[in-house]
């Protein structure tokens, strides 16, 4: 009788497939061409290149074009269309983000001129414009509701309702202390992810209509890109220090508590240093205020001397907790919900190709790296399990 083999949990680690070099400047945008084993790149030296994979496994430039404009070009690729947006087409400043909405035949764009524009992709006619409070650095669109999600350098995310020739402001929300650097929209779960220069990611529950915002801390530097793999319920994020984090979103996450205000420690009741009256009455020196990340209470350093991870609250790194909360946190509570990987180059851009699950990163080292993503890894693990179980 054959022994029953239980599948072991596998770490979904990106595996480097290829490196593309020979650039004269940093690649600011690049995309994987689905089903073609190809890559399209746009770099700061004004060149647009189409790289196709040869039998040797190396990528070679099959198309090479230099733009006449000295300004950066923003690229959006669709299997039927490719858009290269230059300064003089739509904006009075550098184009930052471009999106093509096939269902509406709209081309959405943002620029450093603080304008958000949308054009008819057939006629090229500008349909509307919206002036943002700051330079836009993130843009997503929901076809079902015609909502545009606009993230800017003030740290604010704005939701706009787009019509054919007008738009209306739905709401704005702000949870980051730094610039919004990346946005990612999941139309199925109706969740918006925002990344920031404050090293954090926030998951905004748009569909729940309850204003739920869950913070996720897993980077040591500015978040540069966000991608969501809906088939595996994973969020992929990258930062400028080269870190790639794969988050398991198939878990029930919890909101971090609001920090409570108090003039004295809510554990030992010792006064904080601004509470002069209690300091005088008790003849005690005031203490510095801290906050427990688990319960949100205001505590002194003596009552919050412990550190712990709280992954379901988004804290993958150890944070300050009060002594009573530390005792209540179990090993199961500390089980990580993310895996961490080093791309070994400082990432400036990331692209995820959902049909293959492959990932692309470009760095300040003028190199593009193509990684085998979660689809391929899951298939390999399933194949290994099937082969082992038949032996």
Give Cβ neighbours of residue 93 (< 8 Å, ≥ 6 apart): 87, 111, 112, 113, 114, 135
Give Cβ neighbours of residue 112 (< 8 Å, ≥ 6 apart): 91, 93, 94, 96, 135
Radius of gyration of the chain from its Cα atoms, rounded to whole angstroms: 24
194 has a pLDDT exceeding 90: yes
What distance separates the 2 farthest-apart alpha carbons in the chain? 82
88 has a pLDDT exceeding 70: no
Helix (H) or strand (E) holding 388: helix 374-389
**What predicted TM-score, i.e. pTM, was given to this entire model?**
0.83
Which tokens in the block code for residue 86? 């230059």
Among 100-109, 225-234, 263-272, 382-391, name the one with the lowest average pLDDT.
382-391
Q: What pLDDT digit, counting tens, does each position of 289-298 carry?
A: 999 999 999 9
Segment 65-74 shows an average pLDDT of: 63
379 has a pLDDT exceeding 60: no
DSSP 33-85: ETTTTEEEEEETTSEEEEEEE-TTS-EEEEEEEE-SSSS--EEEEETTEEEEE
Higher pLDDT, 173 or 93: 173
Angle (nearest 5°) at CA 211 between 206 and 215: 90
Closest CA to 226 of 125, 140, 293, 289: 140
Q: Centre a 10 Å sphere on the Cβ of residue 382 and count the other Cβ atoms it contains.
A: 12
Separation in Å, CA 87 to CA 70, 100, 181: 9, 17, 21
8 has a pLDDT exceeding 50: no
Q: What pLDDT digit, counting tens, does each position of 102-123 carry?
A: 889 899 998 888 999 999 988 8
CA quadruple 122, 125, 127, 129: dihedral sign: positive
pLDDT band at 9 (very low <50, low <70, confident <90, very high): very low
71 has a pLDDT exceeding 60: no
Closest CA to 23 of 58, 54, 56, 64: 64
* DSSP SS3 for 311: helix
Give Cβ neighbours of residue 49 (< 8 Å, ≥ 6 apart): 40, 41, 43, 61, 63, 64, 65
10 has a pLDDT exceeding 50: no
pLDDT of 23 reads 85
Closest CA to 357 of 34, 135, 54: 34
pLDDT of 383 reads 34
Among 36-40, 282-286, 345-349, 358-362, name the one with the lowest average pLDDT.
282-286
224 has a pLDDT exceeding 90: yes
124 has a pLDDT exceeding 50: yes
2 strand-pairing partners: none
Q: What are phi and psi of 215, to 5 degrees?
A: -90, 140
pLDDT band at 67 (very low <50, low <70, confident <90, very high): confident
332 has a pLDDT exceeding 70: yes
Helix (H) or strand (E) holding 384: helix 374-389
96 has a pLDDT exceeding 80: yes
Separation in Å, CA 347 to CA 8, 41, 225: 32, 15, 9
């Amino acid at each position: 009788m054959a022994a029953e083999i239980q599948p072991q949990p596998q770490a979904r680690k990106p595996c480097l497939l290829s490196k593309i070099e020979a650039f004269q400047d940093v690649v600011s945008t690049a995309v994987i061409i689905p089903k073609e084993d190809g890559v399209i790149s746009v770099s700061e030296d004004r060149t647009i290149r189409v790289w196709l994979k040869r039998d040797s496994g190396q990528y070679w430039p099959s198309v090479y074009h230099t733009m006449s404009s000295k300004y950066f070009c923003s690229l959006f690729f669709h299997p039927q269309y490719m858009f290269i947006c230059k300064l003089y087409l739509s904006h009075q400043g550098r184009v930052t983000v471009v999106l093509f909405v096939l269902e509406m035949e709209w081309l959405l764009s943002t620029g450093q001129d603080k304008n958000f524009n949308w054009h008819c992709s057939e006629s090229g006619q500008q349909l509307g414009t919206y002036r943002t409070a700051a330079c836009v650095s993130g843009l997503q669109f929901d076809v079902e509701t015609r909502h545009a999600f606009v993230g800017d350098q003030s740290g604010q995310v704005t939701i706009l309702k787009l019509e054919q020739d007008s738009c209306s402001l739905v709401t704005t929300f702000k949870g980051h202390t730094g610039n919004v650097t990346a946005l990612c929209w999941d139309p199925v779960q109706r969740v918006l992810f925002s990344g920031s220069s404050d090293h954090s990611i926030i998951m905004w529950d748009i569909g729940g209509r309850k204003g739920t915002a869950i913070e996720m801390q897993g980077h040591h530097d500015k978040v540069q890109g966000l991608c969501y793999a809906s088939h595996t319920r994973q969020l992929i994020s990258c930062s400028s220090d080269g870190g790639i984090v794969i988050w398991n979103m198939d878990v029930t996450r919890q909101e971090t508590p609001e920090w409570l205000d108090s003039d004295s420690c809510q554990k030992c009741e010792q006064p904080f240093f601004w509470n002069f009256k209690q300091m005088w009455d008790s003849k005690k020196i005031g203490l510095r205020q801290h906050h427990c990340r688990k319960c949100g209470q205001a505590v002194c350093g003596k009552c919050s001397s412990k550190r712990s991870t709280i992954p379901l609250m988004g804290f993958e790194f150890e944070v300050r907790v009060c002594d009573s909360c530390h005792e209540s946190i179990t090993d199961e509570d500390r089980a990580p919900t993310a895996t961490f990987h080093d791309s070994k180059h400082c990432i400036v851009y990331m692209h995820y190709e959902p049909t293959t699950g492959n990932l692309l990163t470009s760095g300040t080292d003028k190199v593009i790296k193509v990684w085998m993503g979660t689809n391929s890894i899951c298939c390999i693990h399933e194949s290994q399990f099937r082969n082992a179980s038949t032996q």
